[in-house]
Amino acid sequence: MARELARIKKLYRRLIASGSTPFPCKGERLDVPESHGVYIIYGPRKEVLHVGRTVRGKRGLRKRLNDHLHGASSFSIRYLSGKGSRLRGTHSFSFVEVDDARTRALLEAFAVGSLCPKHLGLGQNAA
């Protein structure tokens, strides 16, 4: 258990240190890998808005972040009024690739607990 926690903390530090990448402007493509992982979405003032992970399926991080951009995620529907395009050019994201499903789930939970995204438990729009 202590070893697993140490691994999660190490991955968390990598996630935070990875720096953020702006969401592409209209007409530009999202350049992220198709592997699975955990990601953070930041608002225009670099506040943490959302922490998520890929669960299954093909195209991993690319698909999940594109879902947010195209209003096809609960985050974009609830907190961006279904207008994922509001992320373009104003918001950013960071991610870390993680192959193992359990490790992704634990890292997501640790990151959510550590960063406490703005919308957590408020029932309000984070944007």
Q: Which domain holds residue 8?
A: 2-115
Domain annotation covers residue 124: no
Q: Which structure tokens are listed for 29?
A: 């493509």
- Domain membership of residue 123 (yes or no) is no
In this predicted structure, the answer to whether residue 124 has a pLDDT above a threshold of 50 is: no
Q: How many domains does the chain have?
A: 1
The verdict on residue 111 lying in a domain is: yes
Are 65 and 39 contacting, i.e. CB atoms less than 8 angstroms apart? yes
Taking only the tens place, the pLDDT of each residue in 4-36 is: 999 999 999 999 999 899 999 999 999 999 999
Q: Does a structural domain hold residue 122?
A: no
pTM above 0.85, yes or no: yes
Residue 120 lies inside a defined structural domain of this protein: no
Residue 30 located in a structural domain: yes
- Burial label, 73 (beta-carbon count in 10 A; 0-12, 13-18, 19+): buried
- Cα(54)–Cα(52) distance, rounded to whole angstroms? 7
φ, ψ of residue 126 to 5 degrees: the values are -85, -15
Distance CA 91, CA 30 (A): 13
Residue 121 lies in a domain: no
Q: CA-CA distances (angstroms) from residue 24 to 57, 59, 62, 90?
A: 23, 18, 13, 9
Position 79 scores a pLDDT of 86
Distance between alpha carbon 89 and the CA centroid of its chain, in Å?
16
* Tokens describing residue 22: 């702006």
Tens of pLDDT, residue by residue over 43-82, are: 999 999 999 999 987 899 999 999 999 999 989 998 899 9
